Amino acid sequence: MRRTDRALLAIVAGAILLVVIAVVVVMVRPSPSYRTETSPADVVSNYLLALQRRDSARAYGYLSPTLRGYPPSAADFVADMPNMDTVTSGTYEVLDTTISDARAVVTVRATSFSQGDVLSSGQSSRTFTITLADESGVWRLVDSSDWTVWRDCWDTRKGC
pLDDT digits (tens, 9 = 90+) for 41-68: 999 999 999 999 999 999 999 999 999 9
Strand partners, 65: none
Across 4-21, average pLDDT: 82
pLDDT for the residue numbered 26: 66
Q: Where are the alpha helices (DSSP H) in 29-154?
A: 40-52, 56-61, 74-80, 84-88
| Choice between 80 and 82, residue whose per-residue pLDDT is larger | 80
C-alpha R_g of the chain: 22
pLDDT band at 32 (very low <50, low <70, confident <90, very high): confident
Helix, strand, coil percentages, rounded to 5, for the chain: 40, 25, 35
* C-beta atoms surrounding 10 within 10 Å: 10
The CA-to-CA distance between both ends of the chain, in Å, stands at 74
- In the chain, how many H helices and how many E strands? 5, 4
**Over the stretch 128-160, which tens digit does the pLDDT of each residue have?**
999 999 999 999 999 999 888 899 889 888 777
pLDDT for the residue numbered 57: 94
Strand partners, 135: 138
pLDDT band at 85 (very low <50, low <70, confident <90, very high): low
pLDDT band at 84 (very low <50, low <70, confident <90, very high): low
Q: Report the chain's mean pLDDT, rounded to a whole number.
A: 86
Burial 102-135 (b: 16+ CB within 10 A, else e): eebbbbbebeeeeeeeeeeeeeeeeebbbbbbee
| Choice between 35 and 108, residue whose per-residue pLDDT is larger | 108
Across 15-31, average pLDDT: 75
pLDDT band at 70 (very low <50, low <70, confident <90, very high): very high
